[in-house]
Amino acid sequence: KLAAVIFDLDGVITDTAEYHYLAWKELADELGIPFDREYNEKLKGVDRLASLQLILDRAGKELPEEEKLALATSKNERYKKLIQQVTPDDLLPGVKELLAELREKGIKVGLASASKNAGAVIRSLQVEAYFDHIVDAAAVEISKPDPEVFLKAAEALGVHPAHCIGVEDAEAGVEAILLAGMTPLGIGDPKLLGRAKKVVGSLEGMDVEKLSTLIS
Ligand code: G6P
Ligand code: MG
């Protein structure tokens, strides 16, 4: 029985996945490393330093730790500039309606994000009140595809993972949901998110009844 829905943030609640891409793209261009949307799929859901490493790996480039930290900080400065524009109008289609219905029906709602900027984005979207618990990068030691972030959310919500649906736009995220023993709903391309129980283009029209059929 459905007890909780645990959402990823970037690319699920709002399209900040695009801003992460644009910020990494600028940095990769400056470093002269080829980087495109296809390769970017591997970065989705992956924490900041691991994302940088994936970009460097592509060019077989090795850098000292402190230079990597400086580059990661530079990417984050670009990203923070981009998210200054985020307003409640940037909620993706269907999100607000689904959050409202979950609340009304007493189903717990969690957020499981690998981003240190998750709190700021949620505040800009003005949806904090819909979440019973938020787990962000600060509370997590191992990045997706490790299930830690989803398990921490379920624990805080007081629900068994088997009664949770996780919603994700990233391959690493779908994997994390499966490893957590939850049911994954994918947002995006079925070819990339094939391991999800179901994949939809967006949350438009998604409701508690449809979610319940995925889990029972
Ligand atoms: C999310 C995004 C990733 C991003 C990561 C870290 O998982 O999908 O693209 O790299 O968060 O975000 P941060 O804001 O901490 O750099
Ligand atoms: Mg995401």
Q: Which atom of ligand 1 is nearest to the CA of 116?
A: 15
Counting other chains too, the contacts that 28-32 makes at CB distance below 8 Å and 24 or more residues apart are: 28/55, 31/55, 31/59, 31/61, 31/71, 32/59
pLDDT tens digits, 171-187 = 999 999 999 999 999 99
Task: Tell whether ligand 1 has an atom less than 6 A from the beta carbon of residue 116.
Answer: yes
Q: Is the pLDDT of residue 39 over 90?
A: yes
pLDDT for 18? 95
Confidence of residue 11 (pLDDT cuts 50, 70, 90): very high
Q: Indicate whether 216 pLDDT > 80.
A: no
CA 187 to centroid of ligand 2, rounded, Å:
9
66-86 burial string, b = 16+ CB within 10 Å, else e?
Answer: eeeeebbeebbebbeeebeeb
Q: Could you read off the pLDDT of 114-131 as tens digits, one per residue? A: 999 999 999 999 999 999
Which atom of ligand 1 is nearest the CA belonging to 43?
9
One-letter amino acid for residue 119 of the chain: G
Distance CA 159, CA 3 (A): 7
Condensed to tens digits (0 to 9), the pLDDT of residues 64-119 reads: 999 999 999 999 999 999 999 999 999 999 999 999 999 999 999 999 999 999 99
User: Does residue 117 line the site of ligand 1, with CB under 6 A?
Assistant: yes
Q: Is 105 helix (H, G, I), strand (E, B) or coil?
A: coil
Instruction: Name the pTM for this structure.
Output: 0.95
Average pLDDT for residues 15-41, to the nearest whole number?
96
